[in-house]
C-alpha cells in the first residue's frame, strides 16, 4: 500500500495542493539562482553568445554548467523533503516505500541491471556504427565529470522520482482514491516536462513517446513494487551512463564524456524498442524476482480511506 503511506503523515488535500506550488516554485527559483548568477557573469564578460544549452555550456565550461544545472535539483530535493517533513509531518521512509525501511538492495539491483544493459547497448551501437561516434576522452575533464556525476546525478534523478512517483503519486492517489489516475497523470506529466529538452527540437515531438513511455514504466515499477526503490535505481543508472559515456551537441547533457555522437540525429527504432520491448521485459524480470501479483488491483484498484488504512495498520 505505497500510496496509502501518505496517511502516516498529515494528508489533507490543501497540504498537497499547496505543496506542488511551494516545492516547484522553490525548486525553480532558489535552485536556479546559482546558475543564473553564473550566466549573468558570463554575459557581462561577453562569453555568452546565445541562450541555448550549447552556448551556456561553452561559456561556463561543460563541467561547471553541468554542476550548476544539477545543483538546482539538489536544492529542489531539499525543499521537497523539508516541506514533507514540516507540513505533512511525514517521514522520508514512508515517502519512499511501504516497507518498514528503505530497501537499498532493490535500489542497487535496479541500478546495476540497467547500467549493465545501457553500457552494453551503447557499445553495441558504437561497434555497429563507428562512423557515428568520435572518441572524446580527456582524462582530467572526465575525472571531474565523473566526480560531479556520481555525486549529483543520483540526487537529480531522486528529485524527479520523489516529486513525480513519490509526492504526486501519493497525493493524487489520496485525492482521487484510485491508482490508475496518478499513474496516468504522473506518466504524462513526466513526459511533457521533457518537451523543452533540445532533443525534442532536434528529433520532433515523436521523442515524447520515449519520455512518456519511461514515465509509465517507472510508475508501474513504483505501484507494483509498492515503493520507489526500483525506480530510483533505474533512473540513476540511466542518466549516469548517458552522462559518462556519450554526449552530443543536441542533448540535455552536454558533457566531457568518453564518446561524442556526431551522427545526424533521426527518430528511429532506438526510441520505440526500449518502450515496447525492453521495458516490458524488465517488468517481467522484476515481477519474477519480487513475486508481483494482482497487477490489475495494484495498477487500477482503489486507494483505501485513512480510516480503512489505519484500521488495517492497527489490526
pLDDT, tens digit (0-9, with 9 covering 90-100), for 155-193: 999 999 999 999 999 999 999 999 999 999 999 999 998
Interatomic CA distance for residues 254 and 243, integer angstroms: 8
Comparison of pLDDT for 54 and 261, the residue scoring more: 261
Residue 58 is part of which domain span? Answer: 3-314
pLDDT at position 82 is 97
Report the percent of the chain where pLDDT is more than 70. Answer: 98
Per residue in 59-113, pLDDT tens?
A: 788 899 899 999 999 999 999 999 999 999 999 999 999 999 999 999 999 999 9
For 14, 106, 114, 155, 159, the CA distances from 174, given in Å and listed in that order, are: 12, 26, 31, 26, 21
Phi/psi at 247 (5° precision)? -125, 170
Q: What average pLDDT does the structure give for the chain?
A: 92
Interatomic CA distance for residues 42 and 37, integer angstroms: 9
**What is the domain count for the chain?**
1
Nearest 10 degrees: CA dihedral of 106, 230, 270, 131?
-50
SS3 breakdown of the chain: % helix, strand, coil, rounded to 5? Answer: 75, 5, 20
pTM of the model: 0.94
Quick one: cell of 168? 504526486
Mean pLDDT in residue range 263-280: 87
CB atoms under 10 Å from CB of 98, counted, come to 16
Amino acid at each position: 500500500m505505497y500510496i496509502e503511506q501518505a496517511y502516516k503523515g498529515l494528508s489533507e488535500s490543501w497540504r498537497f495542493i499547496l505543496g506542488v506550488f511551494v516545492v516547484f516554485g522553490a525548486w525553480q527559483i532558489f535552485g536556479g539562482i546559482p546558475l543564473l548568477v553564473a550566466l549573468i557573469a558570463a554575459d557581462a564578460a561577453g562569453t555568452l553568445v546565445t541562450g541555448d544549452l550549447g552556448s551556456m555550456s561553452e561559456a561556463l565550461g561543460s563541467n561547471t554548467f553541468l554542476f550548476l544545472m544539477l545543483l538546482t535539483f539538489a536544492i529542489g530535493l531539499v525543499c521537497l523533503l523539508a516541506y514533507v517533513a514540516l507540513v505533512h509531518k511525514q517521514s522520508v521512509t514512508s515517502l519512499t516505500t511501504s516497507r518498514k525501511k528503505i530497501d537499498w538492495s532493490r535500489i542497487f539491483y535496479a541500478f546495476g541491471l540497467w547500467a549493465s544493459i545501457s553500457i552494453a547497448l551503447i557499445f553495441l551501437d558504437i561497434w555497429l556504427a563507428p562512423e557515428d561516434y568520435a572518441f572524446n576522452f580527456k582524462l582530467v575533464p572526465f575525472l571531474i565529470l565523473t566526480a560531479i556525476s556520481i555525486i549529483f546525478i543520483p540526487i537529480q534523478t531522486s528529485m524527479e522520482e520523489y516529486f513525480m512517483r513519490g509526492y504526486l503519486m501519493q497525493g493524487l492517489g489520496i485525492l482521487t482514491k484510485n491508482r490508475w489516475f496518478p499513474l496516468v497523470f504522473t506518466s504524462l506529466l513526466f513526459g511533457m516536462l521533457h518537451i523543452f529538452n533540445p532533443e525534442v527540437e532536434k528529433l520532433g515531438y515523436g521523442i515524447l513517446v520515449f519520455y512518456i513511455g519511461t514515465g509509465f514504466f517507472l510508475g508501474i515499477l513504483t505501484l507494483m513494487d509498492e515503493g520507489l526503490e526500483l525506480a530510483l535505481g533505474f533512473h540513476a543508472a540511466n542518466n549516469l551512463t548517458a552522462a559518462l559515456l556519450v554526449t552530443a551537441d543536441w542533448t540535455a547533457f552536454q558533457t566531457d564524456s568518453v564518446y561524442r555522437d556526431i551522427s545526424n540525429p533521426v527518430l528511429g527504432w532506438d526510441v520505440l524498442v526500449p518502450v515496447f520491448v525492453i521495458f516490458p521485459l524488465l517488468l517481467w524480470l522484476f515481477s519474477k524476482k519480487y513475486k508481483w501479483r494482482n497487477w490489475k488491483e495494484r495498477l487500477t484498484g482503489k486507494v483505501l480511506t485513512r480510516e480503512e488504512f489505519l484500521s488495517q495498520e492497527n489490526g
